[in-house]
Amino acid sequence: MLSHLKNYNIILGSRSPRRQELLSGLNIEFETAIIDVEETYPREIVGVDIPMYLAEKKANAYAKKLDENDLLITADTIVWLEGKVYNKPKDKAEATNMLKNLSGKTHQVITGVSISTKHKRKTFHVISEVRFARLTSQEIDFYLENYSPYDKAGAYGVQEWIGYIGVEFIEGSYFNVMGLPVQRLYTELKRWDK
Amino acid sequence: MLSHLKNYNIILGSRSPRRQELLSGLNIEFETAIIDVEETYPREIVGVDIPMYLAEKKANAYAKKLDENDLLITADTIVWLEGKVYNKPKDKAEATNMLKNLSGKTHQVITGVSISTKHKRKTFHVISEVRFARLTSQEIDFYLENYSPYDKAGAYGVQEWIGYIGVEFIEGSYFNVMGLPVQRLYTELKRWDK
């Protein structure tokens, strides 16, 4: 599958182990690159445009290094609730607060993805809706003490205990909630250069 | 969490490695039991009643062995499309046919779950909707030759390559599609004996 891309050197520009695992699941060979950018964006950008902007910012930071046969994939995931972005929490207090706000409500998880070669770029986004059950303070504490919310937008990993006990309902792609919308990415790669 | 169940010996009556992995994700201790029943049901039973009937059939087969402190969990998952059940495929021809039928359509994955102690039983079901993209013959062949569809209802594992490239959309619980609706199960266990 995706044999039309066999002359490309596919590079995943992400240090996230979840994204690496998800891209591996597409059964394609790739290498990873660490791209350091400040995850900041202009104040006037909202909603889906935030992760698309950040995915492109990461692609731009790597653009000069792109060789003729390189195909770079960058991505950014945000949690969006009631007009506010939930990023990676700085400390336990912020993580607690985020999970209390997500509890009993439906939020959006939005991933922006950029596919870039030296001569072409395609950026898109995928939205998944996630409904959390009401979480008790004990459940939030137990999660924060036993798992690692600090590298995750919205302070939770859907594939961890909190996702098992807390996520009542998803509308859209589960893998997008994990950090990479692999079905849509596969479709875009299938169409690439056709 | 679930400390009110600490005097129970929890038993998962399923040989499915996915169900064992999913129940482990709830962070509870349990053992597994292999329950052999013929997965047949009366002709007049349809839809959600099929996996509920089969979950209870499995529970009944183990009932005599239940000790005072045992809590048994049994489950059955079916794929339901256009008024027909898709079970585990017998051979490659049947698996190919199932995936061709699921391609480009939305089907339901329904899991029936029974929780049983010596004196009480609760049976429930959870439905997830799954929309498949159009799959090419090459994609179906590639999946059937490289993965293991024969122990899976509907001839696919959502957590395998075919789920990555093929599942466009889920409405409901992703873990239910894998074989066990862990969030609902956790909620039922939280309420148990209260």
Q: Is residue A94 predicted with pLDDT exceeding 60?
A: yes
Helix axes A182-191, A17-24, angle to 10 degrees: 60
- Residue B188's pLDDT is 98
**Segments forming the whole domain that contains residue A42:** 3-191
Q: Which residues of B touch A176 (CB under 8 A)?
A: none
Answer yes or no: do A183 and B166 touch at CB < 8 A: yes
Domain count, chain B: 1
- DSSP designation for B135: P
Q: Which residues of B touch A22 (CB under 8 A)?
A: 164
Q: A63 touching B, CB under 8 A?
A: no
- Residue B51's pLDDT is 97
- Residue A193's pLDDT is 81
Q: How far is B78 from chain A (nearest CA, A)?
A: 19
Pairing state of beta strands A31-32 and A9-12?
parallel
pTM here?
0.95
Locate all alpha helices (DSSP H) within A49-91, ordered by sequence.
49-62
Q: A40 touching B, CB under 8 A?
A: no
Strand ranges inside chain B, DSSP E: 9-12, 31-32, 70-81, 84-86, 106-117, 120-132, 167-172
pLDDT, mean over chain A: 96
By C-alpha distance, the chain A residue nearest B182 is A164
Answer yes or no: do B170 and A175 touch at CB < 8 A: no
Question: What's the helix, strand, coil split of chain B in %, to 5?
Answer: 40, 25, 35
Q: Which residues of A touch B165 (CB under 8 A)?
A: 1, 26, 182-183, 186
pLDDT digits (tens, 9 = 90+) for B7-23: 999 999 999 999 999 99
pLDDT digits (tens, 9 = 90+) for B152-190: 999 999 999 999 999 999 999 999 999 999 999 999 999
Q: Average pLDDT for residues B59-78, to the nearest whole number?
A: 97
Q: How far is B174 from chain A (nearest CA, A)?
A: 7
Q: Is residue A131 predicted with pLDDT exceeding 60?
A: yes
In this prediction, residue A194 has a pLDDT band, given cuts at 50, 70 and 90, of low
Q: A169 touching B, CB under 8 A?
A: yes
d(CA B24, CA B15): 14
pLDDT digits (tens, 9 = 90+) for A39-71: 999 999 999 999 999 999 999 999 999 999 999
What tokens does B42 get? 């009366």
pLDDT digits (tens, 9 = 90+) for B98-142: 999 999 999 999 999 999 999 999 999 999 999 999 999 999 999
Q: A151 touching B, CB under 8 A?
A: no
Q: Which residues of B touch A169 (CB under 8 A)?
A: 171-173
Q: How far is B45 from chain A (nearest CA, A)?
A: 27
What tokens does B6 get? 């600490």
Phi, psi (deg, nearest 5) at residue B132: -90, 140
What tokens does B98 get? 């199932």
What tokens does A179 get? 């950090």
Answer yes or no: do B25 and A161 touch at CB < 8 A: yes
Q: Is residue B194 predicted with pLDDT exceeding 80?
A: no
Report, as residue numbers or ranges, the catalytic residues of A.
76
Do residues A88 and A130 touch, judged by C-beta distance below 8 A?
Answer: no
What tokens does A93 get? 């207090």
Answer yes or no: do B172 and A172 touch at CB < 8 A: no
Burial, A164: exposed, middle or buried (Cβ in 10 Å; 0-12, 13-18, 19+)? Answer: buried
Q: CATH no. for residue B50? A: 3.90.950.10
Q: How far is B164 from chain A (nearest CA, A)?
A: 5
Q: Give the whole-number percent of chain A exceeding pLDDT 90.
A: 95
**Residue among A160, A170, A186 minimizing CB distance to B165:** A186
Q: Is the ipTM of this complex over 0.85?
A: yes
Q: Which residues of B touch A124 (CB under 8 A)?
A: none
Report, as residue numbers or ranges, the catalytic residues of B.
76
